[in-house]
Amino acid sequence: DFIVDEYQLLEARAHGADAVLLMLSGLGDADFRRRFAAAAELGLSALVEVHNLQQIGFPFVTSVATGTTPMGVVVAPALKRVYVANNGSNSITVIDTATMSAVATIDLTLASPTPLQTPSDLVISPDQQWIWVAAREIGGPAQGAVAKISTATNTVVEEVLVLGSTG
């Protein structure tokens, strides 16, 4: 979830989160600074989504390069991992929250005979063993797919084709 209220930070910490997602474009400068400071006070790392460098008016501890056009983000607190869906490069970047570095890239174009394209939404299972990724198939705008990824191996283990209507 995107953090919009300080209460969400308290909820995240109470549920064992190590990191939270702050979207710079979704908060005003003053609100962003308050959420960032409050996260630090609670011992939470802040993953900050920035759409362009002009938005940044203060120094960050670090930045982590992902694939092209990052869209969806999901945090796996028990694994100390953040997964980022890279819409423009058809991949998932795996970030280690302890080192704040990318530790793996899952290439979705190699997922199956019908490669996934434009991943956008991520959901993690309650036991954090699986991530499901929603994406379009290369076959056309009326097709999509949901890929199941193992968090243990960072590989696609299953894919389900979803057919939509064209009219």
Does the pLDDT of residue 112 top 60, yes or no? Answer: no
Choose the weakest-confidence range: 61-70, 120-129, 152-161.
61-70
Report the percent of the chain where pLDDT is more than 70.
80
Maximum Cα interatomic distance, the chain, rounded to a whole number of Å: 52
Beta bridge partners of 41: none
DSSP assignment of 113-143 equals SS-EEEEEEEEE-TTSSEEEEEEEETT-TTE
The predicted model scores a pTM of 0.65
Does the pLDDT of residue 124 top 70, yes or no? Answer: yes
Per-residue buried b or exposed e for 14-30, using 16+ beta carbons within 10 Å of the residue's own CB: eeebbbbbbbbeebeee
Q: Say what the pLDDT of residue 17 is.
A: 81
Strand-strand pairing, 45-49 and 19-23: parallel
Q: Say what the pLDDT of residue 115 is.
A: 60
CB–CB of 47/21 below 8 Å?
Answer: yes
Provide mean pLDDT across the span 86-105: 88
Predicted confidence (pLDDT) per residue in 21-45, tens digit? 887 777 777 888 888 888 888 888 7
Does the pLDDT of residue 55 top 70, yes or no? Answer: no
Predicted confidence (pLDDT) per residue in 130-154, tens digit? 999 988 755 555 577 788 999 999 9
Q: Say what the pLDDT of residue 127 is.
A: 92
User: Kindly report the CA angle at 76 between 72 and 148, in degrees rounded to 5?
Assistant: 65
